[in-house]
Amino acid sequence: MKILVCIKQVPDSETAFKINDTTNWIQMNNDIVFRMNRFDEFAIEESLRIKEKLPDVNIDVISVGPPRVTSTIRKALGMGADNGIHILLEKELYHSPYEIASLIAFYARDKNYDLIFTGVMAEDDMQCQVGQLIAGILNIPSASSTILERINPDDNAIYVEREIDNGLRESLDLLLPALLTIQSGINHPRYPSLSNVLRAKDQELITVDSKSLPKIENRDRLTGIYYPQKIKNGLFIDGSPEEKAEKLLEILHDKSLI
């Protein structure tokens, strides 16, 4: 069985971003700390659990981006993935979900993967689109927000439960090959082991120049980015806990909230 796990490198949420007016994108500098998208860690862990249950499972991880994303690929190898694939993008620019999904789908199309996993979303843009778009391009069944999966390779199918509204779940039986976007909470991602980290440090990655893949027709374009606008000034209440509580009650009373 072959599993492909799609991972993304994202900037740490504590980063103070600056806008580059020339490129109409984020100003990249040494102050930005990048790491693996946490939702993708659940996808890697789920693939590793399948490998522990079934024989002859091979796990590839793939990421699209500039040279810096190799560190995130190597972290996935440190967690236990077998091979790392880097689709290289030279420039630090905005790339739409459709563009990223197309690049991954073009690479995966003739590789005979039985399962493709992605995280349920990316922490930076939270668009929740890449996984479903990959499935659409490859014309394979998919399930989003997967919170439970049980695979039966003898039946060439996988049983899936996905989260829907009001705490309910939807049950699906999907024929393989299939794609799942993995919800957080499905498992507890493991830490990279020392032996795997040492292996990953020197392991050769498969690098694919994005220019060598079929040309993608852009379906959308970024018109601009800007800082959030300040709507109201915040009010800080000083004093002891008792004084703060008294002032807060006065404010709420004056606004007829209590």
Which CATH number do you get for residue 118? 3.40.50.620
The pLDDT score that the predictor gives to residue 48 is 97
Cβ pair 120, 181 in contact under 8 A: yes
Interior angle at CA 216, CA 116 and CA 38, nearest 5? 40
Contact 24, 222 (CB under 8 A): yes
pLDDT < 70 positions in the chain: none
Q: What is the per-residue pLDDT for 210?
A: 93
What pLDDT score was predicted for residue 197? 94
| pLDDT of the residue at 20 | 84
pLDDT of residue 26: 83
pLDDT score recorded for residue 92:
84
Q: Is residue 33 part of a domain?
A: yes
The answer as to whether 248 is a domain residue is no
Number of domains in the chain: 1
- Within a domain: 166: yes
Q: What pLDDT shows up at residue 175?
A: 96
Answer whether residue 163 is part of any domain.
yes
| Inside any domain, residue 235 | no
User: Given this model, what pLDDT does residue 157 score?
Assistant: 95
